[in-house]
Amino acid sequence: MGRYVIRRLLQMIPVFVGATLLIFLMVNVMGDPIAGLCGERECDPATAARLRAEFGLDKPVWQQYLTYMGNVFTGDFGTAFNGQPVTELMADAFPVTIRLTLVAIVFEIVIGIGLGMLTGLRRGRPVDTGVLLVTLVVIAVPTFVTGLLLQLLLGVKWGWIRPSVSAEAPLDELIVPGLVLAAVSLAYVTRLTRTSIAENRRADYVRTAIAKGLPRRRVMTHHLLRNSLIPVVTFIGADIGALMGGAIVTERIFNIHGVGYQLYQGILRQNTQTVVGFVTVLVLVFLLVNLLVDLLYAVLDPRIRYA
């Protein structure tokens, strides 16, 4: 196991460098960030030259990237164009988005896996058909429609929640935004769990456990569910990073100042330092979560062993 972890960590290095290089190049072709600093009026040549030299934009792209990566390894993600260090923006944004993502993941695990197991054990029955229809509708409806509808009904019309989340973003105010963020993924988790449960239910090890006289609950949870969760865990693991980076719509609807909000502002203002810094951290989140998911395979399925 230890050698496998070390090998995976070493493999993450070129992936991280390649991903950050691609992101850095893509962000630098979005447009001229200096033009956005001067507003609607065009910067005069002297001011533009001074700003380029101040932010290191007068150097070749490859040199900018090497400088940026050297600073990243020292914990310096650069300075936004408003003079605020990107690490300060991260310190404010990431805790909020992490709480929002945790709420969404809890919905996916509790509701998604619960409904998936229920429908997988009752495949072809009315409850199975009903849940499949509901999940199909959830997948088909865009996230911004679901978010605006719940905000209008629960927040404006009925007054059950705050229409917009406060600056502190406590957990109780993130329940509805978390549900909106998790809605589509929750539907996929339900369908994926249902399919996996229905397939593994006919497996030999399940029939053997039943023939040995084991209690039905133990067969369902210890044998059937554990082995059926491998594709589900893979999906949820990949979804964690996607939820953190893809929360732009949800955070805009509920006025949540998290990672999605900062990315939106950075792209809108062509603030390359902010966008590259936040996406760099999201790449690290993806890589670490994927490693954790691979290690969980051995916990869920004892047949899997890493040499």
pLDDT attached to residue 305? 61
Domain boundary (44, 74, 104) is at 74
Average confidence score pLDDT of the chain: 82
Average pLDDT of the segment spanning 178-184: 91
Q: 61 and 30, same structural domain?
A: yes
Handedness of CA 96, 100, 101, 103 (dihedral sign): positive
Q: 124 and 97, same structural domain?
A: yes
pLDDT attached to residue 111? 92
Contact by Cβ (8 Å): 201, 126: no
Q: 169 and 36, same structural domain?
A: no
Task: Check pLDDT > 70 for residue 202.
Answer: yes
For 138-147, 195-204, 252-261, which range has the lowest pLDDT when averaged over its residues?
195-204
Q: 108 and 43, same structural domain?
A: no
Task: Check pLDDT > 70 for residue 6.
Answer: yes
Structural domain count of the chain:
2
Average pLDDT of the segment spanning 236-263: 84
pLDDT attached to residue 42? 67
Task: Check pLDDT > 90 for residue 106.
Answer: yes
Residues shown for the chain: 307
Contact by Cβ (8 Å): 99, 165: no
pLDDT attached to residue 304? 64
Q: 247 and 132, same structural domain?
A: yes
Task: Check pLDDT > 60 for residue 223.
Answer: yes
In a domain, 84, yes or no: no
- CA R_g for the chain: 23
pTM metric for this prediction: 0.82
Average pLDDT of the segment spanning 81-101: 85
- Give CA–CA dist 153/218, Å, rounded: 42
- Assign residue 227 the CATH number of its domain: 1.10.3720.10
Could you tell me what percent of the chain has a pLDDT over 70?
A: 88
Question: What is the span of the domain harbouring residue 56?
Answer: 1-74
In a domain, 57, yes or no: yes
What is the distance, to the nearest Å, from the Cα of residue 46 to the centroid of all Cα atoms in its chain?
42
Biggest CA–CA distance in the chain, Å, is 84
Task: Check pLDDT > 60 for residue 307.
Answer: no
- Give CA–CA dist 97/115, Å, rounded: 26
pLDDT band at 1; cut points 50, 70, 90: low
pLDDT attached to residue 190? 92
